[in-house]
Structure 1
Amino acid sequence: MTKVTFHNDPVTLLGTQVTVGDTAPDFSVLANDLSEVKLSDSKGKVRLISVVPSIDTGVCSAQTRKFNEEAAALGDDVQILTVSVDLPFAQARWCAAEGIDAVQTVSDHRDLSFGEAFGTIIQELRLLTRSVFVIDKDDKVTYVEYVSEVTDHPDYDKALSAVKELTK
C-alpha cells in the first residue's frame, strides 16, 4: 500500500491500488454533460488518466493544463482523462475558462467508482489522491504513480514517456 501525505500529514487511501501489469479495472464516472463514461468506452486506445483532488486548485490546474498542452502531440490514438470529485458543472466551467479542449474532465463525485477501483480515495477528505495511470490498448496498466505528497506535482515526463512508448 502506497504511503501518501497531505500537507505532510499521513492520509488513508481506500480502494484497491493497481500496479504495472494489472488489467485496468472498469469504472463509471460522469462527463460534464452528466453522461456516463467508462474505461471500456475507450478500449483500443492508449489512455492516460490524470487524477486530481480538485480541479480548482493550483497544482491540479497546472497538471490538467500540462496534459492538455501535450495531448495534440500524442495523437488520436490516445485519450486523456482528468478525474476528480468536483461536480461536472464546476469542471465544465473551469475547462471553458481555461481553454481546456484536449483533455476530458470527468467526475467521480457520484459513487467514487474510479477511486474505489484504483485505490485513490482519501478517506479523511473524500477527495481523490493525486496520481497518474497509463493503460494500453488492451487494458493493461503500464505506468502508475501515486504521488506521495498530494500537494506535489506528478512526474509529467515519465508519464508522457510511458504513453509515447505505447504509440510508437
Structure 2
Amino acid sequence: MGHTTLWLGHPTELEGPRLSQGDGAPADFSLTSNEMQPIPGEALSGKPRVLVAVPSLDTPVCDRESRRFNEEAAKLPGVSILIVSMDLPFAQQRWCGAAGIERVKTFSDFKERSFGRAYGVFAPAVGLLARAVFVIDASDVVQHVEYLSDVSDEPDYDAALKAARALG
C-alpha cells in the first residue's frame, strides 16, 4: 500500500513515490502553462524553486495558500514559486487575474497527471492533486518536503519558507 491523505475525512490513496529530503527531484513529467503550452519538467531543472501542489485554486484553503506564497515570493529573489493543480489553465489564469497573483506561476497537470504521479500527490479516486510543498535547490535535490496528512490543512509555511530562503 502506498501513502494516503485524508480527503473529506476519508483516507485516499496517492499514486507515486513519497519523496524525502535529499532525494533527487523528479523531472520526468509535463505540465501545461496558462497559455496552453507544454512545459517539460526538465525546463524547471537547475533552478531553485518551490513546487506547491494544491487540489484546486477555487477552494478556500488553496486560495489562502496560493495568496500567501505569492506574498512571500517578493522576499525570495532568485527562487521561483510554482503552484500546480488540476485546474484547467483557463481557470488558473482567471483566478490569478481576479486574485492579483503576479509573483508565483501556476501550471496545470490536467492533461497527463504526470507531475502528480512523479511527486506522489495524484489522488486517482478524486482526480485531483493532494496538498504538498517541495523546496528544491539548483542541483535538483529536495531540501524540504511536506505532504499534508489532510488536504484541508495548510502547510507549515515557516518551515517551507526557511528552506526556500536557504536556497538564495
TM-score by length of 1: 0.95
The DSSP-based 3-state class of the residue aligned with 2:74 is helix
Alignment correspondent of 1:63: 65
- In 2, the alpha carbon distance for the partners of 1:78 and 1:132 equals 14
Q: Structure 1 runs of 4+ off > 6 angstroms?
A: none
Verify: 1:7 aligned to 2:8, yes or no.
yes
Aligned-pair distance for 1:90? Answer: 0.3
The DSSP-based 3-state class of the residue aligned with 2:106 is strand
Alignment correspondent of 1:49: 51
Alignment correspondent of 2:136: 135
Aligned-pair distance for 1:130? Answer: 0.3
Alignment correspondent of 2:108: 107
Alignment correspondent of 2:159: 158
Verify: 1:29 aligned to 2:61, yes or no.
no
- In 1, the alpha carbon distance for the partners of 2:24 and 2:121 equals 17
Aligned-pair distance for 1:25? Answer: 0.7
Q: Which runs of 5+ in 2 are unaligned?
A: none
The DSSP-based 3-state class of the residue aligned with 2:63 is helix
Aligned-pair distance for 1:104? Answer: 0.4
The DSSP-based 3-state class of the residue aligned with 2:75 is helix
The DSSP-based 3-state class of the residue aligned with 1:119 is coil
Q: What does the per-residue CA deviation read over 1:82-135, in whole Å, with 9 as the maximum and x for residues that have no partner? A: 000000000000000000001100000001010010010112101000000011
Alignment correspondent of 1:95: 96
Alignment: residue pair count: 166
- In 1, the alpha carbon distance for the partners of 2:111 and 2:68 equals 26
TM-score by length of 2: 0.95
CA RMSD of aligned residues (A): 1.1
- In 1, the alpha carbon distance for the partners of 2:155 and 2:108 equals 20
The amino acid across from 1:63 in the alignment is: E
Alignment correspondent of 1:116: 117
The amino acid across from 2:152 in the alignment is: T
Alignment correspondent of 2:40: 38
The DSSP-based 3-state class of the residue aligned with 1:158 is helix
Q: Percent identity?
A: 47
The DSSP-based 3-state class of the residue aligned with 1:134 is strand
Q: Which runs of 5+ in 1 are unaligned?
A: none
Tell me, yes or no, if the aligned pair for 1:88 and 1:107 is still in contact at 8 Å.
yes
Alignment correspondent of 1:78: 79
The amino acid across from 1:45 in the alignment is: K
Tell me, yes or no, if the aligned pair for 1:42 and 1:79 is still in contact at 8 Å.
no
Tell me, yes or no, if the aligned pair for 1:52 and 1:128 is still in contact at 8 Å.
yes
